[in-house]
Amino acid sequence: MNRWRWPAVGLFSAAAAVGAVGALPRVLADEPAPSAYAAGAAVFQTNCVVCHGAKGQGQPGLAPPLTVYPSHYITSPEGRRQLAMTVLYGMYGDISVEGQHYNFRMPNFARLDDGALATVLNYVVFDMAHATPEAKPIQPEEIAAERAQSLGGDAVRVHRAALVTALGL
């Protein structure tokens, strides 16, 4: 009986070895193009992934997905402000994204500098939400312009409510 097993195992490992070698160039070819916002990806991994998930998919009832709305926000001045305000001041209270409700607390990230906040937002907008490449990336100056207000996360949510209505979201 073993006579039949050994050749089968041998064949399997040979096939696996050939497969592995053969697969190498394909694996490299399938890798996504490197992001223009690699620094933003790193900031996201460290600060945001725990709530929003590795692909920005969010968590039902807790943290909203970042895969759609940010690509709309980036197209309007108030939307760009909204993105900056959300990371600078956080946000809390009930919101809805594509008809789903979320109600938890987004902490503020004012401790991160303007460049780090701009790049993490660009990573969200362009790599996660796939905004049109014609959209203008957020500049560190736009973050700086929103700093040093006495805004709370509730005010950020009120600003968001007007924005989503204006954008028809």
Binding site for ligand HEC (CB under 6 A): 47-48, 50-52, 62-64, 66, 69-70, 83, 86-87, 91-93, 95, 97, 102-107, 109, 120, 124, 157, 160
DSSP assignment string, 40-53: HHHHHHHHTHHHH-
Task: Kindly state the smallest distance separating residue 148's Cβ from ligand HEC, in Å.
Answer: 19
Task: Kindly state the smallest distance separating residue 21's Cβ from ligand HEC, in Å.
Answer: 40
Instruction: Return the C-alpha torsion angle 155, 156, 159, 165, nearest 10.
Output: -130
Residue of 151, 136, 144 whose CA lies nearest to 117:
144
Q: Which is nearer to ligand HEC, 11 or 130 (CB)?
A: 130
Q: Which is nearer to ligand HEC, 145 or 164 (CB)?
A: 164
17 HSE (CA, 13 A, CB side): 6
Q: Which is nearer to ligand HEC, 80 or 157 (CB)?
A: 157
Could you give the 3-state DSSP secondary structure of residue 76? coil
Q: Which is nearer to ligand HEC, 41 or 120 (CB)?
A: 120
Task: Kindly state the smallest distance separating residue 151's Cβ from ligand HEC, in Å.
Answer: 14
**CA distance linking residue 102 with residue 104, whole number of Å:** 6
Q: Which is nearer to ligand HEC, 48 or 131 (CB)?
A: 48
Q: What is the 3-state secondary structure (H, E, C) of 12-43?
A: HHHHHHHHHHHHHHHHHHHCCCCCCCHHHHHH
Task: Kindly state the smallest distance separating residue 168's Cβ from ligand HEC, in Å.
Answer: 14
Reported residue count of the chain is 169
Return the bridge partners of 91, or none: 106
Return the bridge partners of 97, or none: 100
Task: Kindly state the smallest distance separating residue 129's Cβ from ligand HEC, in Å.
Answer: 9
